Structure 1
Amino acid sequence: MSLYVGNLSYEVTEESLNSVFAEYGTVRRVQIPTDRDTGRVRGFAFVEMGSEAEEAAAIDALDGAEWMGRDLKVNKAKPREDRDSFGGNRNNSFRKRY
């Protein structure tokens, strides 16, 4: 499981985010999504910690905390929804009409 970290500064780096979360345990992975067209940070990230206890400690300490001029939003990440190539759900996918 991983943590969702929202309301991030656009200046955030994997290294800076790693150092903040490392205070609460082992950081296994940091992923900061970027905009496909501009390459700019999208303002959120995912952090994978070493254990659920470490995740809970990070959430308790960092959710609502100010960092880099912004109030962080930290919680458990929700599983990614499976979408088809058109962005809709599989029941409403594009159908060719004649």
Structure 2
Amino acid sequence: MNIFVGNLSAAVTADDLRRLFAGYGTTINAIIMRDTDTGLPLGYGHVYVVPEQAAYEAIINLDKQELKGSPIIVRECLYRTRQERRLRRFLWRGNERRVAESRRHNGYDQTSRQRTG
């Protein structure tokens, strides 16, 4: 089972994740996601653990546990279909448009970020 691990400090490595999940089944893979331009960690990663029951135990026991100074978030990784991702993006853009229109309507200047009235 693929497990999402979030709120990771910049000092956490993939080996740290492997060691953390070592007591819960077999860790097949651990990866920290990095920015493609800078190579800096993005603050989240994925760990693949088998069997599934051990993965669920890890999620329950490791969520909100502190790792290198910050409490981590451990969740089951949810896969979204392309259609679900598009819908989510569309809804976000619609909300962004509504916020911009309401700011304009209420006299909020977007360029200077100050009220105009």
Same fold? TM cut 0.5: yes
The share of aligned pairs that are identical, in percent, is 34
Query: Aligned pair count?
Result: 87
Gaps of 5+ in 2: 91-117
Q: State the shift of 1:82 in Å.
A: 2.5
Gaps of 5+ in 1: 93-98
In structure 1, C-alpha distance between the alignment counterparts of 2:61 and 2:37, rounded to whole Å: 34
Partner residue, 2:37: 37
Larger C-alpha radius of gyration, 1 or 2?
Answer: 2
Partner residue, 1:14: 14
Q: State the TM-score, normalized to the length of structure 2.
A: 0.67
**Mapping for residues 51-66 of structure 1, pairs under 5 Å:** 51-66=51-66
Q: State the TM-score, normalized to the length of structure 1.
A: 0.80
> Where is the helix percentage greater, Structure 1 or Structure 2?
2
Partner residue, 2:78: 78
Higher RCO (CA-CA < 8 Å; seq separation 6+): 1
In structure 2, C-alpha distance between the alignment counterparts of 1:43 and 1:76, rounded to whole Å: 17
Q: State the shift of 1:89 in Å.
A: 2.9
